[in-house]
Amino acid sequence: MTDMKAVVGTHDILMITLDTLRYDAAVLEQENCPHLCGSGPWEKRHTPGSFTYAAHHAFFGGFLPTPADSDKSSHIRLFHSKNTGFGTHPHTWLFDTPDIVSGLAAEGYRTICIGGVIFFSKKVPLARVLPGFFQESYWRMNFGVTNPRSTEHQVNHALKLLERSLPEERLFLFMNVSAIHGPNHYYIPGTKRDSLETQRAALRYVDGQLGRLFEVLRTRKRPVFCLIFSDHGTAYGEGGYEGHRLAHEVVWNVPYREFFL
Ligand SMILES: [Zn+2]
């Protein structure tokens, strides 16, 4: 596993949630996603929540998706709350705050959230909870699910912030990518319904845009540790189900990757 005690303090940290990306869609597009999968394949994991709000609460509490295997010894956590009485792995980074975001801030990180789906829109009190974990949070209408160029706008915003960021600054940059979440039918012109195929097309679009972000991050003073995964999948009619916030393997299986830039 990654030695998080060696990462925190010495690396910038990038966390991206590819909202609603199904594990099977991610694997089918692996060859077509050079930026996300250039250094390795997706790992199959189980999400701790079946929809955005629940899953991100768990992530920010240090509960990232769990490896999808029954070997408990492989379920080593990168982040863990301090002084819980549980034994932890020597490479697990321990935080003494309510969540990893404020924990990283306590280590001198500037914490930034670039929102995507509605739970990050800050439009109503509930949609201010998740962005509220961060020192700085940004959401624009064109970062949301209704804009077919949302990832382009989100990445442009991140690049603007990076341009103005001091080289010695420790950064924890979080981005919730909205493009893969429904509606995504417009990624295949002429299609009127969301499907596994239109979700795959959305993922290809997202990979192309994230390449620009990775390129700039590579030029930063510190190496960047990247955590990229989905918060939950979604059903397109499997077992009669549509959507998420329900228990079905197309929802609970999620793709997960970690790598360095
Ligand atoms: Zn979500």
Kindly give the distance from the C-alpha atom of residue 24 to the centroid of ligand 1, in angstroms, as a whole number. Answer: 16
pLDDT value of position 61: 97
* Total number of domains constituting the chain: 1
> Domain holding 119: CATH number?
3.40.720.10
- Rounded CA-CA distance 123/141 in Å is 10
Residue 99 lies in a domain: no
As beta bridge partners, residue 111 has 172
Averages of pLDDT over runs of 10 residues in the chain (261 residues) are 95 98 98 97 98 98 97 93 91 97 98 98 97 98 97 98 93 98 96 97 98 96 97 97 96 98 95
pLDDT value of position 86: 86
Kindly give the distance from the C-alpha atom of residue 46 to the centroid of ligand 1, in angstroms, as a whole number. Answer: 14
Residue 178 lies in a domain: yes
Kindly give the distance from the C-alpha atom of residue 6 to the centroid of ligand 1, in angstroms, as a whole number. Answer: 30
The residue count of the chain comes to 261
**Positive or negative torsion for Cα 183, 186, 188, 191:** positive
Neighbours of ion ligand 1 (CB under 5 A): 19, 52, 231
Domain of 169, in residue numbers = 4-66+104-260
Q: How far apart are the two ends of the chain, measured CA to CA in Å?
A: 17
As beta bridge partners, residue 225 has 13, 260
Residue 81 lies in a domain: no
Asked if 62 contacts 4 with a C-beta cutoff of 8 angstroms, the reply is no
CA distances from 194 to 67, 103, 109, 129 (A): 28, 38, 39, 29
Kindly give the distance from the C-alpha atom of residue 204 to the centroid of ligand 1, in angstroms, as a whole number. Answer: 18
Structure tokens given for 127: 């949609």
Residue 87 lies in a domain: no
- Rounded CA-CA distance 127/58 in Å is 16
Residue 206: Cβ-neighbour burial (10 angstroms; 0-12, 13-18, 19+): buried
Residue 72 lies in a domain: no
Residue 21 lies in a domain: yes
Kindly give the distance from the C-alpha atom of residue 50 to the centroid of ligand 1, in angstroms, as a whole number. Answer: 8
State how beta strands 136-138 and 170-177 pair: unpaired
Residue 83 lies in a domain: no
pLDDT value of position 87: 85
